[in-house]
Amino acid sequence: MKRNSSSETWDFKTLKVTRPREYVVNVELNRPEKRNAMNSDLWSEIRACFLQLATDADCRAVVLSGAGKMFTAGLDLTDAILQETTMSDADVGRKAFSLRRNIALFQESFTVIEKCPKPVIAAVHSACLGAGIDMISACDIRYCSSDAWFTIKEVDLGLAADVGTLQRFPKVIGNDSLARELALTARNFFADEAKEMGFVSRIFPDKEQLIEGALDLASTIASKSPIAVQGTKISMVYARDHSVADSLEHVLTWNQAMLQSEDVKNAIMANMQKQKPVFSKL
């Protein structure tokens, strides 16, 4: 991975990173000829990319999309990393430790999206399969086009999903029965059902309008105080996994510092003067 200086784009092998709007970054899965299947490079570049974006002062919101015919075909089934381990003649205990290390790294590739304090909007067109569901379940907001279809595919491949779907997806849709139905059957579900269950919040007629809609949303978020936006994401992720009492305590501690930010003063002043607030880089 090579980072360019002033234009602030990165050269990845499997991702295309651009800055289409002020403070907005578009991360595009970029293996269109392989339907954006996730190979070892993609898993490690996603990790590197979101770790970098987490502290990038010119990034306040991210749109995650897929190049070419579909969003993603999920795990690259031809990738050597898992096959080498499972097929090797090594001792079962050693193979288990090796698999454990690799799965943990794969998990981290999507956990960095959740830990990135900048809101991440997934923009899904056509297929989003297997690991794609794990990936977008770690995003903050999901939009799709009307041709989108989704499958929690893992049981069809003989495995329990292990990089976030079983942990995050039921919380996203708030319907445990439906989450189990989809994960246990690997049946396809389509844009309308995804919206009805709350997995996506908007459907657009086609990919072009989807990307525009996602970028518009990202621009709106990017126009707000970065202190407020990042504090909101961090508090909402915390609240999802903790009790109300613990989460209130968390935001108490957070805001005893953050309410002293210049952003609060700037936002209130601009509001009263009916002007657009300007916030320093964070």
Ligand X SMILES: CC/C=C\C=C\CC(=O)SCCNC(=O)CCNC(=O)[C@H](O)C(C)(C)COP(=O)(O)OP(=O)(O)OC[C@H]1O[C@@H](n2cnc3c(N)ncnc32)[C@H](O)[C@@H]1OP(=O)(O)O
Chain contacts with ligand X (rule: CB under 6 A): 34-35, 37, 69, 73-78, 103, 106, 127, 129-131, 153-154, 157, 162-163
Q: How far is the CB of 132 from ligand X (least distance, A)?
A: 7
Q: How far is the CB of 67 from ligand X (least distance, A)?
A: 13
Would you say 23 or 199 has its CB closer to ligand X?
A: 199
Q: How far is the CB of 123 from ligand X (least distance, A)?
A: 18
Backbone φ and ψ for 16, nearest 5 degrees, come out as: -115, 120
Q: By CB neighbour count within 10 A (0-12 exposed, 13-18 middle, 19+ buried), where does 243 fall? A: exposed
Q: How far is the CB of 32 from ligand X (least distance, A)?
A: 9
Q: Which are the contacts of 140, defined by CB distance < 8 A and separation ≥ 6?
A: 119, 120, 121, 233
Would you say 191 or 227 has its CB closer to ligand X?
A: 191
Q: How far is the CB of 181 from ligand X (least distance, A)?
A: 17
Q: How do beta strands 15-21 and 24-29 pair?
A: antiparallel
For residue 15, list its beta bridge partners.
29
Would you say 126 or 261 has its CB closer to ligand X?
A: 126
Would you say 56 or 76 has its CB closer to ligand X?
A: 76
Please say whether the beta carbons of 10 and 2 come within 8 A: yes
> Which candidate, 4, 71, 112, 72, places its Cα nearest to that of 210?
71
Would you say 35 or 60 has its CB closer to ligand X?
A: 35
In whole angstroms, what is the distance from residue 120 CA to residue 112 CA? 11
